[in-house]
Structure 1
Amino acid sequence: MKTLKIIKIGGNIIDNDDALSSFIKDFSTIKGPKILVHGGGKLATKLATQMNIPVTMIEGRRITDSDTLDIITMVYAGKINKNIVAQLQANNCNSIGFSGADGNTIVSNKRPTEPIDYGFAGDVKQVNTETLDILLQHNITPVFCAITHDKNGQLLNTNADTIASELAIGFASIYKTELYYCFEKNGVLEDVNNDDSVIENINTESYQTLIKNGIIYEGMLPKLNNCFYAINHNVEKVCIGKSEMLFNTNTKHTTITK
């Protein structure tokens, strides 16, 4: 069974042209089938501010009203996604940009309005791998933005970490799937003020202890919940850290295991 790498990048790479260019150059050298998932960075917020559209965040998540959905569709599925695809082509990595609506690849339900109404936010219901697998078999790399659809004509804003996790789970029956979350830290840290305090391995048991002791909290909880959800649904390996971990095996990072 072949190994499929699913790699998610966030704003720390997307918001920095030099960092994005460097990452794409390295990403293009990764052998074998791979899928890239990207978040939105700060551009959607910047554009909304320029257009006098209010930006509302609750617990770090964007409230997506219809005007905001228009903006993030333009930014995520348009400018950012196509810029990444164009740069991949420049590095001889043939790729195609995707939202969940393209090829009916990711179907979501609109999130319930209780207890918080997040607007047009989507929770993934189904991943359809057939079209993507044809591309992977022809050495074409899918590049996903954080937009899905409900199969009734409605686009939905969907957490990029979740999209990466659900893709890894969806492919787990036909590939050995490895999931990599690239962000600005070296990994999950024992001391948030010390970049060298990387917890190199976390399993189900130690995770609960880390939460209980207050070492893992707030922003890291949703990310790690996605990690364990993936591991518990037959994903082979999940890693968290800086993107260098993909290209240098000696780079410190966190590996999640059962």
Structure 2
Amino acid sequence: GNVMLAHKRVVKDQDYGFAGDVDAVNGSLLHNLLEQGLLPVLAPITHNGEGQLLNTNADTIAQEIAKALSAFYQVSLVYSFEKAGVLLDANDESTVIPVIDRTKYADLKEMGLVFAGMLPKLDNAFSALDSGVKQVIIGKAEDLSSLLAGESGTTIIHG
């Protein structure tokens, strides 16, 4: 249905193969499907409009969809994964940081406390907020109801 178009990531320092970067999301199509009571299920495979399939970061896909739907709805973006939230100590689930703003994020990066896969997740979170998404929460998949209630996980704020 051409929900999402992307392009092959430009080779700079490293060639990521068939990694895709999102160019556009058809928010109107998604909105129409939702209004008809249909729930689109999307995989992180995009295409370039010319038949080339591309592997696109799932967190980026979620952020781009949230941004597109924020034109129609109040959108909360929830990144759910195996950890309880953004942790001060990646090996200690009790060190969840309840709230992160841009200043705190910069400090955490400088101290080396957020790294690897958490970096694009947080970058995407701030991009979503900048584009009209109401809130972004990061936490454990099995805690979804408490995440949405603000009782667990990490909430990302503008700040």
Regarding TM over 0.5, the answer is yes
Residue 252 (str. 1) matches residue 143 (str. 2): no
Query: How many residues were matched structurally?
Result: 156
Preserved contact between residue 244 and residue 251 of structure 1 (Cα < 8 Å): no
- Matched-pair contact (CA < 8 Å) for 2:31–2:72: no
Q: Does the alignment pair 1:141 with 2:141?
A: no
Matched, 1:215 2:113: yes
Tell me by how many angstroms 1:250 deviates.
6.6
Residue pair 1:106, 1:127 contacting (<8 A) in 2 also = yes
Q: TM-score, normalised by structure 2?
A: 0.92
The answer to whether residue 33 in structure 2 is matched with residue 132 in structure 1 is: no
Higher Cα radius of gyration: 1
Q: 1:159 aligns with which of 49, 57, 63?
A: 57
Output one character per residue of 1:83-113: Cα deviation in whole Å (capped at 9) or x when no partner: xxxxxxxxxxxxxxxxxxxx11100011112
Normalized against structure 1, the TM-score is what?
0.58
Structure 2 gap segments, 5+ residues each: none
Separation in structure 2 between the aligned mates of residue 205 and residue 114 of structure 1, nearest angstrom: 29
Q: CA deviation at 1:114?
A: 2.3
RMSD, aligned α-carbons: 1.4
Pick from 132, 139, 143 the counterpart of residue 241 of structure 1: 139
Listed as ranges, the gaps of 5+ residues in structure 1 are 1-102
Report the alpha carbon displacement of residue 188 of structure 1 after superposing the two structures with TM. 0.3
Q: Tell me: CA distance 1:110–1:117, structure 2 relative to 1, closer, same or farther (3 Å).
A: same
Question: d(CA) in 1 for partners of 2:117 and 2:62?
Answer: 17
The percentage of counterpart residues that share the same residue type is: 46
